[in-house]
Structure 1
Amino acid sequence: MNIGDKVRMVRATEQGVVTRFLSGGRVEIEIEDGFRIPVLQSEIVVVSPMEAERFKPSTAAAELRETIAPQRSAATAKGQILANVGLYLAFVSQNDRDVALHVVNNTDWELLLTIAEEREGRYRGLQSLTLKAKTQTKLLEQYQMERFEQWPTLLVQAVYFRGGVGQPARMPLVKRLKPRAQQFYKNKQNVPVLNQPGHVFLLDDEAGAASLPSQPEQIKEAMLSPTDEQPLVVVDRPTSVVDLHIEKLLPAGPGSQSPGQLVDIQLRAFEKNLENAIASGMGEITFIHGVGSGKLRQEIHRQLSRHPNVRFFEDAQKQKFGYGATKVTLK
């Protein structure tokens, strides 16, 4: 069993993708709704992808290629653009541990490209290159599957070029890609141009294939037209451990507020700190809620189980708080 394998529960119907290995014979899997849960390895089995059948080209597809090929040759000879879309990043297995990064240009444009990594706001250039139409290249960078969660965000910038007269200028492309485990598995297919199995991500689409304005008046209007950008919001980054005890939230005392009102205050503090942690890019945060009647802990766990930006949560610091603290791992 490896990271990226598709698995299913032995005693349930859920399926998911292995995202990392945990202690105690457990693994973390991402199920189809994007939520991540820890399970025992003994409670899951690997689903065979049957790659040979998946990647076998159909007779209909072969006939279609034979029909289109002469049309494409004639059209491209006249300088027409038949394929506006088809810029891909592909992760291709080198062995059972590493994948190599390929850039694929399956369009009729020549591309001027830069590829970089982004980690916590820091930029690291990988390569700049020119990629001819219907070609691909393998970058020097390789990534380890066991460190999938630590992979950086990839930043791709592309400028489209086509020689000859009468070709419309096309808007440059700027695209960021941070693969998720479930998406990574679902995108396994035959890599265009390369014709090998890989995990393929399309970077452009028809919506992004717009042409640049051609007249000075249009360019000026586009530059001066108002945008819908929202003002910058400053987010207070919370501490890694947030104490929700009422004496911490209300140092002057609870006054005459009822137990229900006090729980509401604690929940608002929890929600605010959770959202600020997500907005600040924190990887995890721990909430100390105490034991008490268990109502606060129950409500916190209910909200966490439904939150789209929560990978998983678990009881934390048991040796000190028992079941009085919850550690949350964020996406």
Structure 2
Amino acid sequence: MNIGDKVRLTHGIEQGVITRILQGNIVEVEIEDGFKIPVQRSELSVVSSVEAQVFKAPEPNRFEPQRQQEWGTQRTSGPEIVANKGIYMAFVVVNDRELSLHLVNNTDWDLPFMLSVGTDPHHKGLASGTLKPKTTLKVQDFLVKEFEEWGTFVFQAFYYRLAFMSLREPLIKKIKFRANTFFNNKQKAPILAKDAYVYQLDAEESKAARPLKIEPEKIIEKMFDTQVNETKVNLPKPSPSVDLHIEVLTKDFLSMSNTQMLNLQLETFEKQFEAAIANGMDEITFIHGIGNGVLRTELHKKLSKHKNVKFFEDTQKEKFGYGATKIKIK
């Protein structure tokens, strides 16, 4: 008996293919449902290639042992091979005002899922159900001018197959898009085969966590690309003065903790400041109020380390009582 021989268990009905020769007169056999089992040579008999002709029965479908496949690759001919990676959010350009969000499952897994969006602790459900293998699902359209108010997307899914399988950890992904990376990530969306702003939900964490370099010139060039037949998507230009008072940013501030309110204010500051850089603004003012000075301190700490800041200063004492900071942008 050699590797590759088709064999039958002497005291059973199982058939398979020898995949390894083990010690102690034992061989490893991969049976037709994908399991590999150790069997004594004496318990096996080789299936002859002329057996079907002798018994005048149609020859059974040829069975080949499964081979390991790299994650993210496509199915090939022959026995089923599982593609484990390839789950995406794809924002397809509808026009210069709207983007259409699609979920893409380019794996061989059924994905019971839920997608929501919002700001902790308040989230709104957008879609739920089961994403079948190699399928897409349109969720809804989003306005580009409201990009800064989209909030945090949360995608949760389980991996499921109607077969014997190794259990996988559920996928939970939180995404808060930033203008300087979102609009610089246009490519062909898998399965949809359309140009879209694509984000892979099951990317390797080491790659996803890689620090991103902000290059305003390239962002502007990408946003205002004038290639023939390509639709432009323009990120709204922020106001010269941005009010960071919590009652202006959300109606739900009464149910939020101090930490949650501060985080929302800082996130708004970062997004508006990035948008100002991307739009080539010379300066922008953030109204943070006086209060206990925590928000002002955090803003000044971030600005002191930012490479695109020429200088910043307290401003408009008469109007804001030093409750505002003006930033000169390089």
State the TM-score, normalizing by the size of structure 1: 0.46
Q: Which of the pair is proportionally richer in helix?
A: 1
Q: Name the structure, 1 or 2, with higher relative contact order (CA <8 Å, separation 6+).
A: 1
